[in-house]
Amino acid sequence: MSRGLPASEPGHTGGFRVAVKVFNRAAYKDAAEVCRLQTELDLALSLASPYVVRTLGTTLLSGFSPALVMELMACSLADLLWKKNGHRPAVKPPSNAVAAPPQNAAAHASCKISGGLKRRLLLEVALGLEFLHSMGIQHRDIKPANVLLDGEVHAKIADFGIATRFTMETSLTNDIGSARYMAPEVLFGPYDERADTFAYGVLAWETLHEAVAFGSMNPIAAFLNMQRGVRPPLKLPEDLASLVPLIEACWQETPQARPQRMSAVVKILEGCGAVLSDGVAYSM
């Protein structure tokens, strides 16, 4: 649960609005769950990147519910893509991690999702993943709902609820993340950060096509399609066609066939004309 706090509310400092992620106190009844919560808090507080939603601190709300205080973002990439086009997948995407100010709903339709903007958003997400991986962190749930946009439509990665630190000696647990974006190896494991690369490939397809991958199917059916090697068709306009090989590389069935590092994805995007400032003023 998240909500924005206006500057006049008690406990707010710094003269700007924040988002508060409130943890369900009843969900943390044993030592393992408390440890998971502490891991998420420590993880969020350790990260400092312009491409990751900034965590400002922690607090206890009335009733002693633990909460994470974060910068307030305007909406999610899912909001921008799906609400703009009136499109809904077979199963409604989960709400974004940070509540959006109500006035932004009408702005979704007025924000033009140009080819340049799509390339920039994908570059910012790739830079966010590159940063996380460099910190030894695998996100494990990359999808449009977990990419948040600020008021100038810049992308930042959010929601580290199932993120984990990885090492060469650690085999990550199986069956983690959202089925529609899940790499084939995750179900049977072990796997590494290249599972994020696979999910990024699906996210890139959705961003460029402004559609949900296998949107007529439920997430489990979509995952089974991916397991069988089926991929949604790549039909991009001429100005985005250079990104087809990148998507094909990211969602390869075997991790070894995918880009070894997200830095390679960043380099490809820059070679395809993605820039962090495209000279166009966007607003939410």
DSSP assignment, residue 130?
A: H
Catalytic residues: 141
Q: Tell me the CA distances in angstroms from 182 to 52, 91, 131, 229, 232, one per residue in order.
A: 21, 16, 21, 13, 14
Residue 111 has pLDDT above 70, yes or no: no
Lowest mean pLDDT among 137-141, 145-149, 165-169, 266-270: 165-169
CATH of the domain at 184: 1.10.510.10
Q: Kindly state the percentage of the chain with pLDDT values over 70.
A: 73
Greater pLDDT, 14 or 247: 247
Greater pLDDT, 222 or 21: 222
Same-domain pairing of 66 and 130 = no
What is the distance between the alpha carbons of residues 251 and 36, in angstroms, rounded to a whole number? 29
What is the distance between the alpha carbons of residues 218 and 228, in angstroms, rounded to a whole number? 16
The model's confidence at residue 257, banded by pLDDT at 50, 70 and 90, is: very high
- 177 domain residue, yes or no: yes
Same-domain pairing of 13 and 108 = no
- 282 domain residue, yes or no: no
- 49 domain residue, yes or no: yes
Domain that holds residue 51: 2-71
Q: What is the mean pLDDT of the chain?
A: 79
DSSP codes of every residue in 9-47:
STT--TTS-EEEEE--GGG--SHHHHHHHHHHHHHHHT-
DSSP codes of every residue in 207-274:
HHHTS-TTTTS-HHHHHHHHHTT--------GGGGGGHHHHHHHT-SSGGGS-SSHHHHHHHHHHTT-
| CB atoms near residue 281 (< 10 Å) | 7
Question: What are the structure tokens assigned to 127, written together?
Answer: 């830079």
The last residue of one of the domains, among 71, 88, 109, is 71
Among 45-49, 50-54, 58-62, 195-199, top mean pLDDT goes to 195-199
